Structure 1
């Protein structure tokens, strides 16, 4: 059972789900927090972009929902993952949920672009067992065009995670014509290989499963005509990461 406590901190959430092998180790309770400062061209969840589109929820309400699955996710070697959107956009709410999860003895993971890494306090990170860090591109110009943001905050954030000794899994979305440049991939692999905190790199092939959401929102899907990567391209990028001594999937 959850630790009996009352937490008045509230936030806005999109939804929650259960997943296995995608959002951290084991079976996870995945909380989708609303709001994101980036506008990634390949985003599969445009319905999480705006805070106003989420529903209000207190930390207590979130923990009540998590508690329904606590035994199951614990036995399955899992825990709780906060994702979005961008959970660090609501850093106080995210920190409070992570704190309560740790009080309950649950494994915690934070899925973030790192763009708002400066908002993650040391206390928040102390309650985070694993960081799932999405590095969109290692090329500064491509990163800006692809996301509308800057790469530097993310690199600064992962450097800070290295200093703190946090466990990190890198997520890299492979988009033909955008993130498949050999030199950029090798540059990222070389950078990551120098960080002891990086345990693995997950190469995630671009997909169009979120296209219907764009249609429902009457928002153009910028990469609708972009092809998904084939096995040959995926294999080449995996070999580039592995060639630098990284564990890549």
Structure 2
């Protein structure tokens, strides 16, 4: 009997989580505690999520397949999807057999045999690198970035295509030195199809209030156009495939 999957919510026609139109499934649970997390209600392993049959997700994805076109498909986001890797593997096998394109949006910090199998079944990985500097990464997330970098190396060595995503947070992840180090670290990776520079936003702040949590970055403003332009100038030296979202 297949295991149920803890689902937080869905987005029926997403356009920001992989190529084309996507059916986005936001899963529950994440080992990171990012200071700027836009979905803090997905961090807890249970939260207000619903135990969901893989059959339901499969049927929804297949029913939407006519809308996906040649590029779209299903994206598993979160939270951190790899936390539930073992339960997701049979679903991924069925989705692949049905010809549904699969993306996984991951911070790359969970690694075991189930995660490795899950990523082999994934068509495109969206790898969120929070910071290249270990100390600043730990400050932002509460965890090391060592495994995230190892996951990127595994994807590269396995010939597995991925997108690199980076959120530019003023005062936290926008140091020019770190942007250069990020570029130098990844510039020769052949499997990076796209690099996304994502502006910092405060759209999730109201969720902290609803949870009764203090939002620790309340004094940090969203990026100025000048900050984004400067970061883009630096990263484009290393990544011709850079996109600013």
TM-score by length of 2: 0.94
Match of 1:58 among 43, 53, 57: 53
**Aligned equivalent of 2:22:** 28
Contact 1:117 1:154 in 2 (8 A): no
- Structure 2 runs not aligned, ≥5 long: none
Matches within 5 A, 1:114-133: 114-118=108-112, 120-133=114-127
Matches within 5 A, 1:1-249: 8-53=2-47, 54-73=49-68, 75=69, 77-118=71-112, 120-249=114-243
State the aligned residue count.
242
Offset of residue 119 of structure 1:
5.2
What SS does the corresponding residue of 2:228 show, helix, strand or coil? Answer: helix
Bigger Cα displacement from structure 2, 62-71 vs 125-134: 62-71
Distance of 1:20 and 1:12 partners within structure 2: 20
Using a 3 Å threshold, how does the CA distance of structure 1 residues 234 and 39 change in structure 2: closer, same or farther? same
- Structure 1 runs not aligned, ≥5 long: 1-6
Contact 2:82 2:115 in 1 (8 A): no
Contact 1:241 1:247 in 2 (8 A): no
RMSD: 1.4
Using a 3 Å threshold, how does the CA distance of structure 1 residues 49 and 105 change in structure 2: closer, same or farther? same
Structure 1 stretches of 4+ with a deviation exceeding 4 A read: none
Offset of residue 20 of structure 1:
4.2
What SS does the corresponding residue of 2:125 show, helix, strand or coil? Answer: strand
Contact 2:61 2:73 in 1 (8 A): no
Distance of 2:199 and 2:113 partners within structure 1: 29
Distance of 2:85 and 2:116 partners within structure 1: 12
